[in-house]
Amino acid sequence: MASSRFNKTLFIILGLIFLVGAVYIFFNDEGILKYLKLKSDVNDLKEQILTVDKDNKSLQAEIDSLQRKDPAKIEKIAREKYGMIRKGETTIKIIEK
């Protein structure tokens, strides 16, 4: 009888120790949940870096074409950014409601 009570008490104590340990492992400042959040943040930042690198390469290609004085590129920018037109051309503006 005493052995059975001792076993129950021991089981409860070990269960509580396990529960407290599991809570500590998951929820402390260096726990699993923090690790998973940081891992997700790192993946997000890697994706942002790839996007920025792609944008940088595109902008660098545009800079290079302008430095080479590519006539088609210069004309495109003059038309799109500055609204310039050639002699004899008519500009048509469409206003959406």
Tens of pLDDT, residues 33-71: 888 899 999 999 999 999 999 999 999 988 888 888 888
Please say whether the beta carbons of 26 and 32 come within 8 A.
Answer: yes
Please say whether the beta carbons of 85 and 93 come within 8 A.
Answer: no
Higher pLDDT among residues 18 and 3, named by residue: 18
Rounded to 5 degrees, what angle do the CA atoms 15, 16, 20 make? Answer: 120
Sequence-separated (6 or more) residues with CB below 8 Å from residue 58: none
Q: What is the DSSP letter of 68?
A: T
Please say whether the beta carbons of 73 and 79 come within 8 A.
Answer: no
